[in-house]
């Protein structure tokens, strides 16, 4: 079992303002700064954090999209450098191929460490975004080895398994989970699936969700950080803007044993799959 100095991980649960990038970025800045002031070294913010989600058409999202070297990612790099942290954030990317992607980045003060384009598009995302065609990245940072994917990607066990097999200790997941009816007293299904993803791979997951009501859509606000056993280590504050923090020993993600004779990765029977 590998032990290292604990790392403080934060998820910023906020409400982007569609059509108002300045206000959205101001809210991101406030949340990230609060997280850093409370000791966070790795900070995750939601999917499409600087734009909002409920686009009326492809033209609206194209007008909000930016290149990887555009002002939003450059701002994240500057902020990460000034605070001494790693930031994972979702945003709308205008690619060099002129396609628009639901994307995310991991940055620190040295620059862009990883970028990713959402491969599994949800519902009307298919009408305004191009699906990504690359595997989710896994990257070494000063605080740990991080994977990156976005929202609906988490619903595909094969996709999550890939980053675990590549040694990710913490999967950073910017998400926007719509609020849907659920049975009284039940934990949201999106959170349950994140718990399962973490448990079957013995890997930490930090899912940063959004809140608010946007063009008729309510958002869950189900931000959660989950440990390698699949248990939440942060309290759910459904629908409430807040910063969730947890101290994690990321080295434990290298221990895949679940009994003296079982290992969740070594026991796979890939010749049968």
Checking if the pLDDT of 3 tops 90, the result is no
In this prediction, residues 112-134 reach a mean pLDDT of 98
DSSP letter assigned to residue 188: P
Tokens of 270: 């890939």
Average pLDDT, the chain: 97
Residue 229's pLDDT band (cuts 50, 70, 90):
very high
Global pTM?
0.97
Residue 4 has pLDDT above 80, yes or no: no
pLDDT band of 149, cuts 50, 70, 90: very high
Instruction: Please report the pLDDT score of residue 1 as a whole number.
Output: 55
Say yes or no to pLDDT of 20 above 60: yes
Average pLDDT of the segment spanning 237-262 = 97
Would residue 157 be called left, alpha or beta, if left means φ above 0 and alpha means ψ between -120 and 50 degrees? alpha
Structure confidence at residue 249 as a pLDDT band (50, 70, 90): very high
Model confidence at 36, in pLDDT bands (50, 70, 90)?
very high
Q: Which residues belong to the active site?
A: 47, 118, 151
pLDDT at residue 87 in the model: 99
Comparing CA positions, the residue from 96, 22, 19 lying closest to residue 52 is 19
Share of the chain above pLDDT 70, in %: 99
Strands of the chain (E only): list them.
Answer: 7-13, 42-44, 86-94, 100-108, 111-117, 138-141, 144-148, 170-174, 204-208, 213-214, 217-218, 224-226, 242-248, 257-259, 262-263
């Amino acid at each position: 079992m590998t032990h290292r100095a604990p790392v403080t991980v934060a998820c910023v649960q906020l409400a982007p303002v569609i059509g108002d990038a300045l206000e959205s970025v101001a809210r991101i800045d406030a949340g990230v700064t609060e997280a850093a002031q409370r000791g966070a070294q790795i900070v995750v913010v939601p999917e499409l954090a600087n734009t909002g989600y409920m686009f009326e058409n492809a033209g609206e999202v194209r007008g909000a999209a930016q290149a990887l070297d555009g002002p939003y990612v450059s701002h994240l790099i500057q902020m990460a450098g000034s605070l001494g942290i790693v930031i994972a954030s979702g945003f709308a990317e205008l690619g060099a191929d002129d396609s628009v992607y639901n994307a995310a980045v991991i940055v620190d003060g040295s620059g862009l460490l990883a970028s990713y384009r959402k491969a599994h598009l949800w519902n009307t995302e298919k009408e305004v975004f191009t699906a990504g065609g690359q595997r989710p990245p896994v990257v070494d940072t000063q605080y740990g080895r991080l994977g990156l994917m976005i929202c609906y990607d988490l619903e595909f066990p094969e996709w999550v398994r890939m980053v675990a097999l590549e040694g990710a200790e913490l999967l950073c997941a910017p998400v926007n989970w719509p609020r849907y009816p659920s049975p009284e007293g039940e934990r949201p299904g999106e959170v349950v699936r994140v718990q399962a993803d973490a448990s079957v791979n013995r890997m930490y997951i930090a899912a940063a969700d959004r809140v608010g009501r946007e063009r008729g859509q309510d958002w869950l606000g189900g931000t959660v950080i989950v440990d390698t056993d699949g248990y939440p280590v942060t309290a759910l504050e459904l629908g409430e803007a807040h910063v969730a923090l947890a101290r994690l020993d990321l080295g434990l993600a290298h221990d895949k044993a679940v009994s003296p004779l079982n290992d969740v990765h070594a026991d796979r029977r890939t010749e049968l799959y």
